[in-house]
Amino acid sequence: MSECAAPIRVRHIRSIVSIVENVSAGGGPMCGLAGVARCGGGSLGGEADDLLRRMTGMVAHRGPDGEAFHRSGPVGLGFVRLSLVDPVGGGQPLSTEDGSLVLIANGEIYNHRELAAGLPRGARLRTGSDCEVLLHLYQRDGLAFLDNVRGMFSLVLWDRDRNRLVFARDRFGIKPLFYHRNSERIVFSSEIKALFEDSACPRRIDWAGALSDQLMTGAMVFDDSPPRTWYEEIELAPAGSIVTFDLNNGETRTHRYWDFPEFDGSSTGSETDLIRSYGETLASSVAECGMADVEIGLFLSGGIDSAAVGALSDVKPRTFTALNGSTLVNSDAEYGHRIAGWLGLDNDQVLFDTSAVPGVEEWKQFLWLLETPLAGPEAFYKYELYRYVGAHAPEIKAMLLGGGADEFNGGYSVSFAGGGEWPDFVANMNRMGIRGDQHRKPDLGAWWDQSDLPLVRASALRTAAAGDSRDPYEMLHRWKYRDVQQYNCWHEDRTAAGNGIEARVPFLDHRLVEIVAAIPEHLRPSLVWDKQILRRAMVGVLPEEAIARPKVPFFYGEGVQHTYRTFTRMLAQHGDRLLDEALSGPGAREHLDADNIRATLRRLEQDPTAGHVEFLLRVVNLGLMEQLTESIPATPLAQAAKASVPSSVLVTDWDAQQEKIAATVLRRPPVDFEAVAELDDSVMLLHSPDDATSWYVVINGTVEFVIDETEAPEWLGMLRALDGVRSLDQVLESLGHARESVEPLIADAFELGILTHPSTVL
């Protein structure tokens, strides 16, 4: 095959069956990988070409800029490409001049120039690709070839001379690589759905494993088990590892080239040294993540993490902020706008008004893209942000994110402290450790059930349960390392790739995690508490208001009812159609309680804060995944029809536009004033004789709201007058109030489950 100056775009596999020896293009894009390898000796036949074509078609959404195939000997590779580095000469597969090594890779090698400079004299890089250097490193260093590589990647390398297939992933599992193997062959891809194109690949949900997973149950115990694929007999190449397959005898070996650090406080540096080192390393990581030959954007949440990335970036990215009911109430959207202004960056406020509900087919398509029951509101809004970018800023092919900062910098320390300080965080962390050890060793753990003053040391239980004595502080971070792989990186990759965009995560740089791991115990309260090492590193880089702003969850806390209401309506639409489909499969019928699932949905409809809609959504997702896997959608995601793209709200002055913004976002169902309403059974309206003006709204025994009679007399009068007999209009008429004076408050009260319509008794 002759050299070409343009990216490879091949439609017919048979035209490139021979080894790709002289392709001038390299790699380094966000891509989709697929392939098959024969075990036991012998070559793949032409029948593998159709499988390769179908597998590659299933991940075509990951690479809209080109596709290519390679089959030689026992290995067949498929590749789709999104061009970020060397768009003209950046296609794959990559190979050495003699064809003995062939590589496909998904991701970016940030320090490729530094690595290339250290190659032996005579090593010739034939492309401008950042991934080509990996071939030469492997030739020189063997399985040590990734030791000094920085980046995010998954790769497949065929070593012809050793007849060895090599899989590898970056240290945090930012880029995915799944596979299934039997005695005859291995099939592999960036996404699970492509594996199902092989008729020999099982299509079974791992119900028992999924339902017991800590991220599904929300159990407050440390879990550092390997991430799941959610499917039986589907494996995920481990992060920070190289997996090799001997295609002669089928032998498989795993080599870890990076281990998650022990949080042993080994640093001898001063507090100032650690802050300076952290800030310099973060700046370096942001600069490396800005490497591209295309435009780059930034998702700006309003918190310090994404603000820091925006402030340190040299590319002045266009920024995008989610504007929905929750981010309006918790001020994330407002601070996204303000931070962008402080940094001189353009900001799009992407609108998700409270009347917008994902459709049935829309949710199923989204779930088919994500392939995880953990698909929920956060991931959906992220996906919609990417869709907005694709439609309104198509020149942007990579997106900077602030993700990963909370997990390893103390972002959860304040919430884990339960309103207390560092000692409370440590105490609660220790309790979590004991709780997990009790689960693993219940006989010895019974000592902690007898008294709040257990007579046995926690270290004895820890050693007996886990086989080691790692302390809870380290286990917390190992738990979050698992979360990053199982949840954060998984959905960030899919939501971006589903829109032909690459997600880049500067905080997931192993150098940053190693700095935090080495913080001595006596400095943790001043550096790890509430992410102080990041906040203090940003002094002089960000305004003080941005540095000091407390962590705000994306949609939890104040305003959560708006997000919960949206997804409750989604599940209930068309007569609970999503529930009906989810509960129809054999696995769902065996494992799920259909009556309780429907009752939970009814409860959430009455009061969106009566539970966590995510837990309901997770089991529904599992059932839907079972259905989607048994009857794979006929139309590939790259060709599937999409819902309408979100719009945005032009904000030039938040303070001046605040009321208009709120009216645009908070679109509630109209209030039926002719209907009868009453306080919900869970609600009481109480008044203290010692305070003549204050009234308390108590929900399930907890004071949730205080109403000042002097400030809201009409609203208080309305609540006191509701009797469950008269209509809202009749109550208003008796009080002499107009609808307009209380309509927004009535709508809020129905949203929050404070008011309800009385049931009709037959």
What local confidence, expressed as pLDDT, does residue 557 receive?
64
Q: Is 31 a catalytic residue?
A: yes
Query: Are the C-beta atoms of 306 and 286 separated by less than 8 Å?
Result: no
Per DSSP, the three-state class of 137 is helix
Q: Is the peptide bond before 93 cis (omega within 30 degrees of 0)?
A: yes
37 plus 139 within the same structural domain: yes
Torsion of CA 461, 464, 467, 468, to 10 degrees: 30
154 plus 61 within the same structural domain: yes
- CATH number, domain containing residue 736: 3.90.930.60
Helix intervals (H) in 36-182: 47-58, 112-117, 132-141
Query: Are the C-beta atoms of 192 and 371 separated by less than 8 Å?
Result: yes
64 plus 169 within the same structural domain: yes
What local confidence, expressed as pLDDT, does residue 384 receive?
96
Please indicate, yes or no, if residue 437 is contained in any of the structural domains.
no
Q: In which residue are the tokens 């020189």 written?
A: 140
Query: Are the C-beta atoms of 297 and 517 separated by less than 8 Å?
Result: no
327 plus 380 within the same structural domain: yes
Q: Which residues of the chain have pLDDT under 70?
A: 1-30, 82-91, 468-469, 555-557, 668, 759-762
Q: Other C-beta atoms within 10 Å of 425: how many?
A: 25
Residue (of 553, 501, 267, 239) closest to 395 by Cα position: 501
One-letter amino acid identity for 507?
Answer: F
Please indicate, yes or no, if residue 658 is contained in any of the structural domains.
no
Query: Are the C-beta atoms of 610 and 699 separated by less than 8 Å?
Result: no
What local confidence, expressed as pLDDT, does residue 18 receive?
30
Number of residues in the chain: 762
Please indicate, yes or no, if residue 428 is contained in any of the structural domains.
no
195 plus 59 within the same structural domain: yes
Please indicate, yes or no, if residue 222 is contained in any of the structural domains.
no
Q: Other C-beta atoms within 10 Å of 751: how many?
A: 21
Query: Are the C-beta atoms of 73 and 13 separated by less than 8 Å?
Result: no
Please indicate, yes or no, if residue 612 is contained in any of the structural domains.
yes
Please indicate, yes or no, if residue 520 is contained in any of the structural domains.
yes
Q: DSSP state, 275?
A: H
Residue (of 287, 278, 332, 341) closest to 309 by Cα position: 287
249 plus 368 within the same structural domain: no
Give the whole-angstrom CA distance, residue 632 versus residue 578: 17
What local confidence, expressed as pLDDT, does residue 658 receive?
93
Give the whole-angstrom CA distance, residue 523 versus residue 336: 31
Catalytic residue among 4, 31, 39, 131: 31
Give the whole-angstrom CA distance, residue 692 versus residue 333: 38
Give the whole-angstrom CA distance, residue 578 versus residue 587: 16
97 plus 160 within the same structural domain: yes
Please indicate, yes or no, if residue 288 is contained in any of the structural domains.
yes
- Our count of domains for the chain comes to 4
Give the whole-angstrom CA distance, residue 54 versus residue 197: 7
62 plus 187 within the same structural domain: yes
For 428, phi then psi, to 5°, come to -70, -35
What local confidence, expressed as pLDDT, does residue 12 receive?
31
Domain closes at, from 579, 609, 629: 629
What local confidence, expressed as pLDDT, does residue 85 receive?
52
User: For residue 226, what are the CA distances in angstroms to 59, 152, 485, 486?
Assistant: 25, 19, 9, 9
Q: Which two tokens stand for residue 600?
A: 């939970």
Query: Are the C-beta atoms of 399 and 490 separated by less than 8 Å?
Result: no
Give the whole-angstrom CA distance, residue 77 versus residue 333: 44
Helix intervals (H) in 549-645: 560-582, 586-591, 594-606, 613-630
Beta strands in 273-369 (DSSP E): 295-299, 318-324, 347-352
pTM, to two decimals: 0.87
What local confidence, expressed as pLDDT, does residue 615 receive?
95
Helices and strands (H and E) in the chain: how many: 32, 23
23 plus 71 within the same structural domain: yes
Residue (of 490, 499, 502, 501) closest to 638 by Cα position: 499
What local confidence, expressed as pLDDT, does residue 83 receive?
59
What local confidence, expressed as pLDDT, does residue 91 receive?
66
Domain that holds residue 158: 13-204+232-256
- CATH number, domain containing residue 43: 3.60.20.10
328 plus 191 within the same structural domain: no
539 plus 404 within the same structural domain: yes
133 plus 236 within the same structural domain: yes
- CATH number, domain containing residue 312: 3.40.50.620
Please indicate, yes or no, if residue 442 is contained in any of the structural domains.
no
